[in-house]
Structures are given as structure tokens and as C-alpha cells.
Amino acid sequence: MTRHAILNKDQHRDLRVNMSHGAEYGDDIMSALTFPEEFHNVQTYYPIVFQKDEQDNFQPVALFGLRQGENLFLEGSHWDAHYIPLSVQREPFLIGRSANGDHVHIDLDHPRVGDESGQALFHDHGGPTELLQHISDVLGMLNAGVKNTQAYIEALLKHDLLESFVLDVKFDEDNENRLVGYYTINHDRLRKLDGKALEELSRADHLEPTFLAAASLTHMRDLIERYRNRYARG
């Protein structure tokens, strides 16, 4: 369940939010939304792949696991990477729109919200805390990045640069997992693009994120190793 409310210094002055990590806070997720401007940070740790949403539109995601509900970077309360995608960092906040403009909303039913050991959102005088200022910046970058993603996806489709893939991971005779429903950058087609296509992608700032997404697939081996190590520990 979700219960969204516009964040208000009068109503929520005493509200606290726990920004720790853990499955109990919803971090046991297989993937998270990302966007081209974030690829440089994301590709340092995670494979960047593409999936279709409910409207059959492609969207890029950072892959954390090989099965639903599995985050191989999460060890108890520790997230084993120095960068966490903004779409994860922003929980339990989101941008809401109204006739009066955009506002920071909060999901009051989120498990992070209302924890007395959490961090305050407002100072006693009513001003935003450093946490809330950070969240506002995160939401702004995320909102702008997601808006720009559609043009990027259209460019990939125009040049036929997305291809589906299937990944089989076998731990032993009784444990095998198949990853399906995702797409990657087609290396051969990317390499064979002519000068005109490359210039077009570059001028639109679509070329660099495409190479970053393609390069990020080297982390698929790391993900498989994490998967096998987790099984080995039982």
C-alpha cells in the first residue's frame, strides 16, 4: 500500500525517515530505473540493460540480481557498492504534480517513514535539513533524466541497437536460473554504424551513454559470481 502526501513543514515537522539499507526497507530488488546521464556512475558497478514497461516502452535499468526479489549487492544493512542509483536513493520520496507546480511527496506508508531512529526532514525553525535538500536534488536530477530518456530510446531503436538476450546461470545440477525479458546494446551493429549515424548520436549526447551501457555488460560476470557465492553460503 502507498499513501502519498505533499511534504509540508507544518504537518511533517516531526516526521523522521530511516535512510539505512535493508530488505525490510524494500531494497531487496532485482533492478532499478536509471537514465543516460547517470550511466557513467552506474556502469562502474552494475550491468545496464533495457526492459519494457507496462506500455511496451523500453527503459534502462541497473541490474542488481538475477531473480525477482534478489539484490546481490545487499548484505544485511550493507549495500556493497559506492554508488546507488538515484531511483533507489530517492525512496520514499517522489515528485508530485499539481496545478500549483511540482512538489516533493512522501509515501507515509513506506517502511522507512516514522522510525524514531530516523533522520529529521525539517529543523525546529521549519527549514529543510541537509537530508531533505539532498532528496530534492536527487528528485530534480531523476525527473530531468527520465524525461530525456525517451529521445535516447528512440535513437537506439532508429539505429536498431537493442537486442534481446537470455542468460543461463548454473550453480550445480539442481540449481539453475534463466534471466529473460531484457535487452542489451548490440555490439556488432554499434561497431558498424557509419559516420553519419555516429555524428547524429554524438550531437544528441546519445553516443557516450550507448558505449557506457555496452561496456557495463562486463559486470554481468561479477553478478554471476555474486550469485554463485550466495548459493555457496547456503
Question: pLDDT, tens digit, for every residue of 167-187?
Answer: 888 766 666 778 899 999 999
DSSP 127-154: PBPHHHHHHHHHHHHHHHHHHHHHHHHH
166 contacts 178 by C-beta, under 8 angstroms: yes
pLDDT at 190 over 70: yes
Query: What is residue 186's predicted lDDT score, i.e. its pLDDT?
Result: 96
pLDDT at 137 over 60: yes
pLDDT at 2 over 90: no
Domain extent for 193: 4-232
Query: What is residue 176's predicted lDDT score, i.e. its pLDDT?
Result: 73
* 196/3 Cα distance (integer angstroms): 49
* 127/95 Cα distance (integer angstroms): 19
What pLDDT, in 10s, does the model give residues 54-88?
999 999 999 999 989 999 999 999 999 999 999 99
pLDDT band, residue 232 (cuts 50/70/90): confident
Query: What is residue 173's predicted lDDT score, i.e. its pLDDT?
Result: 62
Query: What is residue 96's predicted lDDT score, i.e. its pLDDT?
Result: 77
Query: What is residue 47's predicted lDDT score, i.e. its pLDDT?
Result: 98
What pLDDT, in 10s, does the model give residues 142-170?
999 999 999 999 999 999 999 999 988 87
Query: What is residue 102's predicted lDDT score, i.e. its pLDDT?
Result: 73
Q: Which of 89, 92, 129 is nearest to 5 (CA)?
A: 92
pLDDT band, residue 234 (cuts 50/70/90): low
Give the pTM.
Answer: 0.91
pLDDT at 231 over 80: no
Structural domain count of the chain:
1
* 60/90 Cα distance (integer angstroms): 17
Mean pLDDT for 188-203 is 96
* 208/194 Cα distance (integer angstroms): 16
What pLDDT, in 10s, does the model give residues 3-56?
888 998 888 988 999 999 999 999 999 999 999 999 999 999 999 999 999 999
